[in-house]
Structure formats: C-alpha cells, structure tokens
C-alpha cells in the first residue's frame, strides 16, 4: 500500500514539473512595471526620432515601354528586310531594372547637379532648401573634401562668411582612396570672401551669395557620386509593371524634398528616352558614316573623269560616239556597273567579317540599309544586334558571370559562328560573279580595239565618268534613305504621367515606427525577463515552491532586520518574531500542544539558515513557557552560538565519545528563562559514527524526560547521510530552504526524502523571505516596528545577514 502511495505521489510530482505556459506568462507579467516603463521609453524614443528625422515624401509617375526598340530604318528600295526585331524590352521587368541601373542614374545626376544639399537649421530637424538657398556652393572634386555631417556657413554681411563644423562625424574624401575619419574639434573659424575659392588641406569650395541677405546661417552637406547613387538608385526608387497585361511602368521615389524627387523622376524618364533614341540611331549613323566614306572616294574619281571628258571633247571636237562604238560602250558600261556593285558588296562583307572577329558589334551595318538583298544575312545580323543589345541591358545591373549574361553570350557566339559561315559562302559566290563579269568585260573589250583611236579614247573616258556617276548616284540614294530613317527615329517609350511633388509626407512610415517601438517596448523586457525566469535556478517564489513541493510548506520566515541570531529573544514584537510564532502555530496543528515534541531542523547545504531557524524556533517555545533545549548536532561544522555567551566548550561530541557520562554536564543554561543549550562540542574524528551510536538514543530519552520541547540542529542532509539517523529521533522535521539562495533542484531533494526514503513527518520552511511575499489579509508583516532596523541597514552594507547561519 505504501509503495502504491509513493508511486502515485511520484506521478503527481512529474505532472506538476511539466512546463505550464499559463503560470509562465503570469510570472512574466508580474514584472509589468518594468514592461510599462520600457514601452514608455521606446515610444518616447520613437517620437523623438519621428520629430528629429526629416519627413519622407513619395512622388510617382508613369512611363510606357513599347514593344519595338529597334532603329526605324526606312527601306525606299522596297527590298525585304527579314524578320522583325524582337527586343529584350518585351520583358518589362528588364526595362524596370535598366531604369534603376547606376549608368542611367549617373546621367540624371550629372544633369541635375545634386552634389551639394542646403538646409535651414531647425530645433529638432533641419529643413532642406532646394533651389531656394541664398548661397550657392561649387566643389572641386579633384581636391580632398569633407564629408559626413553638415557644415555651417554663417555671415553677418554681404562680403564675407565663416565656416564651422557642428556635427560629430566627418570624413576626408579623396577620389580613388578610402575615406578616413577626421577630428575637427580644434578647427578655428576664419573669415572668407564670397565668390573666392576656399583652398585648405581638407576642402576646396567656392561659396557665392545669390540673394541680398545681409546675414544668415545655412547648413550644407557635400555628396559624392557614390552616395547619390545609393540614394537614387537604391531602395528609395521603386519601378514596377502597373498591370500584367500592359507595358506601363509605375515609378515612385521616397525623398526628403518632394520637388527635388519629382524633378529626378521626370529627368529619369527623359534621360531613359534619350538613351533609347541614341541606341536606335546608332545603326542608322553607322550606315551613313559608311556611305559617306564611299562617297568621298567616288566623288574624287567622278570629278577627275568629268574634267577629262570636257577637256577631250574640247580638244578633239568630238561629242558623240558612232553606232558601233555606242553598242560596245553600253555593253561594257553595264558590265562595269555590275562589277563595281559586286566589289562594293564584297568590301562590305570584308568589313563585316572584321567587325565580327574584333567583336565590334556596335559598328555593324544592317545590309538592307545599304541595299544588299539577302534575307538570311539580314536575319542573322538583326538577331546578332538584338542579342548584343540584350547583353548590354543585362550588364548595366549584372556581371559577366551571371547566368543571364552567360546565356546571352553563348547565343551571340553561336550566332556569330553561323554569320561567319554565311559570309564565307556569300563571299565565294560574289568572287565567282566578279570573275565572270571581268571575263565578260575582257571579251567586250576585244571588240573595242577595232574602233578608231579617237573613239576608243572617248569611250574610255565616258566609261569612267558613267561608272562613277552611277555609283555616286547609288550611294547618294542610300545615304538619303539612311539619313531620312535617322531623322524620323523617335523614342518608342513615352511619359504617360509626369511626377508631381506632394505636400503630404508618408504618415504610414511614422505610424510604423510607433508600432515597431510599441512592440519592441514589450518584446525586449519580456524576452529579458523570460530569459531570467528560464535561467533562474534559485527559489524566489513561495507560491511556486508550494506547488512543486511534495510536502507541506509549514512556514515562511521573513528577512531579519536585527543584528545577530537572537531575533526573537531580543525583539519579540518584530516581524521575524511573528513569522516564527506563525510557524509554531502551524506545528501545533501537526503535533498536539500538550505533547512533548522533538523537532529536527535540517537543510540541503550550509548557509540556508538552518541554525538561525533552530535558535529562534526554540526561543519562541521558551517564551511560551515551554522548557526548551537546543541541541547542536552539527559536529562537522560546529556552531559557535556566540550570541548566548556560553561558558563551557563541553558539548555533544564529548558525551557521545564517553568523555562525559552525565548528561547534565553538557547542558548549559542561558540567560533566558526555560532555554537551555547543548553545544556540538569539540570536533571529533568520527562524527558520523557518533551520531549513529546507541548513546545518542540514550541522550534523547533522557532529554525527553526533562524538556517539553527539543530542537535538534542537524547537519545538512545534502552533505551528511548520517543526518537521516537523527531524523528518526524527531516527531517532525523542518527542512529549511532559503529565499533567493537555495537552488530549485533542492526541491527535488526534499521530495525524494519523503517519497523515496520514507520520511513522512517532514515539512518545508522558507527562510529569509522578502516582505512582498509575506501578507496576511492585505497587511504586510512590515507593520511591526523593528527597533534595530537602522543598525541593520548599516550592517547590511558591510556584512551578511545572520539569517544565513
């Protein structure tokens, strides 16, 4: 039956030792004043941050991307141009990435010149002055400059000004070198002239006065290109497709100045359209440049033959060719015209091969632009230009090693291989045609030799003139077509909605900061106190202790505010005395009042207040007319009991070792009525054996016949196993745990004493409890006056409380 009862108690304790989230939350919430203070602090910091940080405004615009970004070549010859150009811009996300890229941002920043910001000083936050500053600053970026915090420019007249550095962190900037922090605390402010360059080791700037302000104070901040790119090409700029079925992009920019932000977005859209138009005109310009080079050579030849023809006719008075010469002239002229065109094509193919080998893709000319009819060649070149432009788009934001760029590069290499193979075949065909034309010309020239010499000479000159004139006319026509195509090019994209400055800041961001601060004010202390609770190894909650104990918590002893161990005897009306009276009353419910009782006082380790409890519990009984004796059984670490001023050192060890045979010889009376003491005596070599001896049992029988109450101050059971022999002599055992000192694992030790070792008459006492845990019907034990409180406060600063004895 007893085994079943112990097993049930073990199961009950295991169930109580499981983690209880409700109880854990209650413990955390018990720190609510600290949580409330944390919330007030974080919300105050959030309010200060919102007030001291410049307001953020959001400006937005809309921009449309069309499907075709290719150059708008116009083919006036009516020749087919192959397949249409499919740009990478069909992927709208690629275009949004391109618009956010740093190369585009650099062009916009160069256009706007935002290297200097101007501010009007404020109490919590400075107000930015965009295009309304009374001064203008020019910066020499080839010279070291001061970056970081703001620079103050002050003037009291229109002639000179002074510079100071009110910020906390400044850096020295020099292009190409890392920035280094500098100290400007000892900087001596000097007077400088408006409009003159200020040149000193840390800066080179020129400040001019725009408005006729007799005095003023302006803060300036210098911005490098990298810092501006981080601000305008970073997370502050968002570009996204407004709808999946449309090619319209939405643009928003978070900025501290709405006018500046709106101008940046509008310039961004304008610059992007300009870059797009520039890319579209590149092919047309290459075609015009190529034709111009050809025209330059043909024009010289045409002038030469024109002059020669006029001179020959004037000299020989010959203006017409005879019928036979005319037919020969026409045949040779047509063959030479065809030959010149094929040679011109071969020259184009040769140049194209050179561009492909050199990977000079930006110089490639589309064949259809100069009248070369070859659908396969046109398609291959169009595809190559498309891939190259796609690769250029990706390289604005990606590296060569990225998967997208690598994939396009492989496609370019494959397309180039196909194009070179096609050029070799076309070159072979062209060479064969040229050789055939040359042979036919040679055959025609044999008939030409039969003509008179004068006709031969005239025909030769006219042949040259006609041939160059036809080539010149052909080139002029192609140049006009290319120039017209370039002139008619327009940007495929357009601005749908210009950005407009907004007067309303983004309230959501400030509200979000308050919300974040509110939750941080809760989370941080809760996390700290949760960690403290989870990491806490000491007993600091009587209620939790009572729940985890397998034995009743018979009493709670408050923290003693008197010096010494005789708290009850010296201050019988103190709070600690009342807690001992309460403990005595609770003992009376366990053992009848009129019965002689023996109480053993023990603990897990030394320092938990075992001796202090034993002394004062014995004192309470003596004050209640009970003949009481305190037996100090801890011979391992004898208590001095110096507060009783005992005269003899003979004690328990002397009796148990048979050095003294009469019990009365070891009993020492005190100056307090009905209170006697048996000290531990001298430390013996075998205290454990003495405590387990029959002689100790004889001693207890003798004492029980003489005293109403026997208090046994036993050794700690956590250190001395023989202490359990002493517990058998007691009617009940009080196991002392000390508040905020004893570890929680000691609770399991106490539970095992009851459930595994079979000590059923054991009860717990919590010593040194804080006043906040000692209340009765709403009244604290602090109600009682402590005569020695002042002395105790002084003692507390320099020594430990005797409650730990």
User: What string of H, E and C letters represents the secondary structure of 58-80?
Assistant: EEEEEEECCCCCCCCCCCCCCCC
Is the separation of the CB atoms in 673 and 561 below 8 Å?
no
User: In whole angstroms, what is the distance from residue 216 CA to residue 156 CA?
Assistant: 7
- In Å, how far from its chain's centre is CA 253? 21
Q: Count CB neighbours of 396 within 10 A.
A: 15
The secondary element (H helix, E strand) that includes residue 420 is helix 403-448
Please enumerate in sequence order all residues whose Cβ is within 8 A of that of 427, keeping only pairs 6 or more positions apart, or say none. 346, 349, 350
Question: Under DSSP, is residue 252 helix (H, G, I), strand (E, B) or coil?
Answer: strand
Count Cα neighbours of 100 within 13 Å in the Cβ-side half-sphere.
23
**Nearest alpha carbon to residue 361 among 274, 414, 277, 286:** 286
**How do residues 385-417 score in pLDDT, each as one tens digit?**
777 777 776 776 667 777 777 888 888 888 888
User: In whole angstroms, what is the distance from residue 35 CA to residue 525 CA?
Assistant: 6
Helices (H), 627-732: 652-656, 687-691, 694-706, 723-727
Q: Find the angle CA(645)-CA(646)-CA(647) to the nearest 5 degrees.
A: 115
Tokens 């910091």 appear where? 45
Give pLDDT, residue 487: 62
Give pLDDT, residue 52: 76
Give pLDDT, residue 72: 40
Q: What phi and psi, each to the nearest 5 degrees, are found at residue 353?
A: -60, -40
Cα-Cα end-to-end distance for the chain:
40
User: What string of H, E and C letters represents the secondary structure of 114-166?
Assistant: CCEEEEECCCCCCEECCCCCCEEEEECCCCCEEEECCEEEEECCCCEEEEECC
Give pLDDT, residue 240: 85
Please enumerate in sequence order all residues whose Cβ is within 8 A of that of 429, keeping only pairs 6 or more positions apart, or say none. none
Strands (E), 191-336: 191-193, 197-200, 203-209, 216-222, 237-241, 248-255
Give pLDDT, residue 304: 64
Give pLDDT, residue 619: 92
Dihedral sign (CA 772, 777, 778, 784): negative
User: In whole angstroms, what is the distance from residue 608 CA to residue 716 CA?
Assistant: 9
Task: Kindly give the parts of the chain with pLDDT less than 50.
Answer: 1-2, 4-5, 10-12, 68-90, 317-325, 450-451, 777-779, 782-783, 785-805
**Structural tokens at position 676:** 């006697």
User: In whole angstroms, what is the distance from residue 622 CA to residue 763 CA?
Assistant: 22
Question: Under DSSP, is residue 268 helix (H, G, I), strand (E, B) or coil?
Answer: helix
Residues in the chain: 805
In terms of DSSP bridges, do strands 628-632 and 709-713 run parallel, antiparallel, or are they unpaired?
A: parallel
User: In whole angstroms, what is the distance from residue 539 CA to residue 764 CA?
Assistant: 13
Q: Count CB neighbours of 685 within 10 A.
A: 8
Give pLDDT, residue 484: 66
Give pLDDT, residue 311: 66
User: In whole angstroms, what is the distance from residue 240 CA to residue 426 CA?
Assistant: 46
Q: Count CB neighbours of 493 within 10 A.
A: 21
Q: Which residues pair with 558 in a beta bridge?
A: 769
User: In whole angstroms, what is the distance from residue 206 CA to residue 672 CA?
Assistant: 96
The secondary element (H helix, E strand) that includes residue 779 is strand 779-780
């Amino acid at each position: 039956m007893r085994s079943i009862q112990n097993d049930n108690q073990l199961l009950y304790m295991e169930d109580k030792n499981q983690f209880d989230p409700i109880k854990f939350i209650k413990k955390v919430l018990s720190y609510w004043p600290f949580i409330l203070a944390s919330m007030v602090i974080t919300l105050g910091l959030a309010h200060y941050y919102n007030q001291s940080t410049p307001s953020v405004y959001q400006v937005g615009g809309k921009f449309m991307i069309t499907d075709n970004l290719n150059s708008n070549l116009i083919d006036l010859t009516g020749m087919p141009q192959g397949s249409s150009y499919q740009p990478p811009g069909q992927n709208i996300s690629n275009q949004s990435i391109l618009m956010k890229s740093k190369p585009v941002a650099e062009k916009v920043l160069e256009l706007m010149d935002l290297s200097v910001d101007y501010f009007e000083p404020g109490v919590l936050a400075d107000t930015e002055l965009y295009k309304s500053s009374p001064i203008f600053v020019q910066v020499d970026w080839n010279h070291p400059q001061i970056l970081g915090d703001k620079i103050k420019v002050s003037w009291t007249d229109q002639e000179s000004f002074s510079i100071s550095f009110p910020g906390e962190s400044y850096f020295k900037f020099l292009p190409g070198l890392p920035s280094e922090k500098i100290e400007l605390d000892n900087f001596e402010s000097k007077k400088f002239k408006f409009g003159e360059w200020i040149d000193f080791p840390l800066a080179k700037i020129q400040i001019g006065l725009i408005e006729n302000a007799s005095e003023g104070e302006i803060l300036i901040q210098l911005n490098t290109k990298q810092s501006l790119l981080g601000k305008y090409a970073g997370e502050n700029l968002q570009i996204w497709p407004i709808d999946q079925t449309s090619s319209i992009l939405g643009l928003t920019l978070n900025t501290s100045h709405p006018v500046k932000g709106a101008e940046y977005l509008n310039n961004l859209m304008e610059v992007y359209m300009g870059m797009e138009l520039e890319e579209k005109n590149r092919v047309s310009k290459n075609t015009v440049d190529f034709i111009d080079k050809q025209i330059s050579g043909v024009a010289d030849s045409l002038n030469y033959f024109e002059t020669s023809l006029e001179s020959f006719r004037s000299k020989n008075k010959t203006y017409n060719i005879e019928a036979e010469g005319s037919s020969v002239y026409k045949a040779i002229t047509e063959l030479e015209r065809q030959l010149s065109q094929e040679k011109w094509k071969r020259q184009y193919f040769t140049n194209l091969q050179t561009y492909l080998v050199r990977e000079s893709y930006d110089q490639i000319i589309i064949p259809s632009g100069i009248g070369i009819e070859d659908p396969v060649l046109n398609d291959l070149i169009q595809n190559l230009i498309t891939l190259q432009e796609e690769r250029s788009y990706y390289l604005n934001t990606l590296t060569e090693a990225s998967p997208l760029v690598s994939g396009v590069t492989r496609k370019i290499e494959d397309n180039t291989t196909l194009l070179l193979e096609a050029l070799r075949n076309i070159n072979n065909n062209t060479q064969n045609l040229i050789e055939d034309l040359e042979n036919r010309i040679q055959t025609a020239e044999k008939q030409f030799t039969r003509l008179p010499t004068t006709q031969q000479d005239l025909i030769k000159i006219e042949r040259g003139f006609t041939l160059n004139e036809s080539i010149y006319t052909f080139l002029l026509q192609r140049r006009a077509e290319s120039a017209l195509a370039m002139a008619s090019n327009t940007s495929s994209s357009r601005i749908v909605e210009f950005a407009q400055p907004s007067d309303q800041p983004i309230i959501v961001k400030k509200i979000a900061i308050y919300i974040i601060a509110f939750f941080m004010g809760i989370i941080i202390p809760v996390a700290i106190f949760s960690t403290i609770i989870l990491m806490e190894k000491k007993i600091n909650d009587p209620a939790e202790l009572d729940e985890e104990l397998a034995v009743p918590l018979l009493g709670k002893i408050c923290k003693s505010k008197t010096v010494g161990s005789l708290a009850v005897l010296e201050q019988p009306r103190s709070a600690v005395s009342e807690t001992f009276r309460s403990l005595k009353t609770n003992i009376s419910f366990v053992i009848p009042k009129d019965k002689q009782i023996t109480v053993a006082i023990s603990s897990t380790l030394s320092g938990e207040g075992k001796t202090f409890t034993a002394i004062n519990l014995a004192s309470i009984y003596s004050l209640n007319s009970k003949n009481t004796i305190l037996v100090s059984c801890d011979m391992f670490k004898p208590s001095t009991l110096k507060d009783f001023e005992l005269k003899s050192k003979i004690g328990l060890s002397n009796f148990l070792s048979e050095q003294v045979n009469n019990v009365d010889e070891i009993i020492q009376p005190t100056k307090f009525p009905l209170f006697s003491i048996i000290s531990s005596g001298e430390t013996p070599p075998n205290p454990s054996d003495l405590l387990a001896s029959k002689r100790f049992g004889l001693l207890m029988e003798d004492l029980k016949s003489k005293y109403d109450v026997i208090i046994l101050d036993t050794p700690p059971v956590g250190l001395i196993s023989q202490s359990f022999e002493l517990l058998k002599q007691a009617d009940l055992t009080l196991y002392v745990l000390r508040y905020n000192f004893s570890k929680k694992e000691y609770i399991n030790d106490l539970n095992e004493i009851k459930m595994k070792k079979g000590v059923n008459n054991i009860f717990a006492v919590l010593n040194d409890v804080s006043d906040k845990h000692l209340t009765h019907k709403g009244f604290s034990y602090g109600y009682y006056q402590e005569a020695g409180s002042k002395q105790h406060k002084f003692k507390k600063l320099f020594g430990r409380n005797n409650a730990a004895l």
